[in-house]
Structure 1
């Protein structure tokens, strides 16, 4: 069986960093900006960025509906930060009329942990790994609801106080920051910024097994 080719949505976000991580785990990565490039990949990374802008750019480049169709047809996708928002079936804290690609049965709160100044790092217990994963959170979302078939891979119990204050009195002691549903993987944080390629390797194996 030949090695898969994994695309990186390249209209916004840390494209080069994700491509470098894919290369580190021995997978060919390609930038995706148009439908013909999407047709040539076996899986896709949706990087961090600004989720509303990503949706608008995907529309402008006639990539939105092809992306939605590939996801519905079963293409493996790894969404990070804004990419997690793009995969979510439902969002809170978004702007009026904000679109998502959907496919992942979760509700995600946009900018849940606060603004850029509220960025933080944390060592996470991760279901797929035997040692902690060091995660970088920048204007990060969190998952407020998971569907019945969604696996929670990691939670965080720290972060800026502002994020917990906005959650109200019902706030939990931890927040869901990584999930998987079959072929769809999503994290609140930026795995391309840590130097730890394990999540990209995990996704590459998911694509291989698809």
Structure 2
């Protein structure tokens, strides 16, 4: 990959430090993103795993919904893991009753996502997962993981577990239901950086 990519990790909640460590180990220049101005000059952004309803509330508190959509519209690459994947999706199923069964999302990935599809925290598990673009299975860790259903015509399925889509891509949007940042394997972070490298840097705001 030519040059040193400048990427961000959404750092309002969740496992953002682990993502940063992996990306820096691969040679990326990484910035933690908490405010709209932090997106300036970045070419890619990771939205980490965590608690999606808490993350959605914090996106509102920090005024990040529109800037994140604008970042993508200007050419930015987005990757969401677990909760981040939920927030990228167009439709969300299984929102908590206290939210009236509705959860806000960015709507940038044309899929329906079903929250907690593999059970509760105590049902967490790891499996060797074949992933398109990797030469050997990835040690995928699932923690209260969602699944991606009703994929739109432009969405490419990259991995399945038990017949359910758990990783997908649509243009400059990548989503994984599992947690690559909590493993010692950096190959999927490498795929994200490869996708960033395919696109021109985002112009400064």
Instruction: State TM-score, norm by structure 1.
Output: 0.89
Post-superposition Cα deviations, 1:36-91, rounded to whole Å, max 9, x if no partner, equal 10123111000001111111101101112111222233310010000000000011
**Match 2:188 to one of 177, 184, 199:** 199
Residue of structure 1 in register with 2:137 after alignment: 132
8 A Cα contact 1:72 1:103, kept in partner = no
Q: How does 1:83-162 map to 2 (within 5 A)?
A: 83-95=84-96, 96=100, 97-157=102-162
What secondary structure does 1:178 align onto? strand
Whether the 8 Å contact between 2:42 and 2:76 is mirrored in structure 1 is: no
Which residue number in structure 2 is paired with residue 32 of structure 1?
33
Determine the structure 2 residue equivalent to 1:165: none
Structure 2 residue 188 is the aligned partner of structure 1 residue 183: no
Q: State the SS of the aligned residue for 1:146.
A: coil
Secondary structure of 1:8's aligned partner: strand
In the alignment, the residues of structure 1 paired with residue 41 and residue 74 of structure 2 have an alpha-carbon distance, to the nearest angstrom, of: 15
Deviations 1:3-41 (A, max 9, x none): 221100000011110000001211111100001101231
Q: Which residue of 1 aligns with 2:79?
A: 78
The whole-number CA distance in structure 1 between the counterparts of 2:62 and 2:127 is: 36
Distance 1:73 1:188 in 2: 25
The 4+ residue runs of structure 1 with deviation greater than 4 A are none
Task: Tell me the distance in 2 between the aligned counterparts of 1:64 and 1:150.
Answer: 22
Q: Is the CA contact (8 Å cut-off) linking 1:3 and 1:208 kept in structure 2?
A: no
Contact 1:85–1:108 (Cα < 8 Å) also in 2: yes
RMSD: 1.1
Q: Which residue of 1 aligns with 2:203?
A: none
Structure 1 segments unaligned to the other structure (5+ residues): 158-173
1:41-52 to structure 2, matched below 5 A, reads 41-52=42-53
Task: Give the equivalent residue in structure 1 for 2:21.
Answer: 20
1:6 aligned partner: 7
TM-score by length of 2: 0.91
5+ unaligned residues in a row in structure 2: which ranges? 200-205
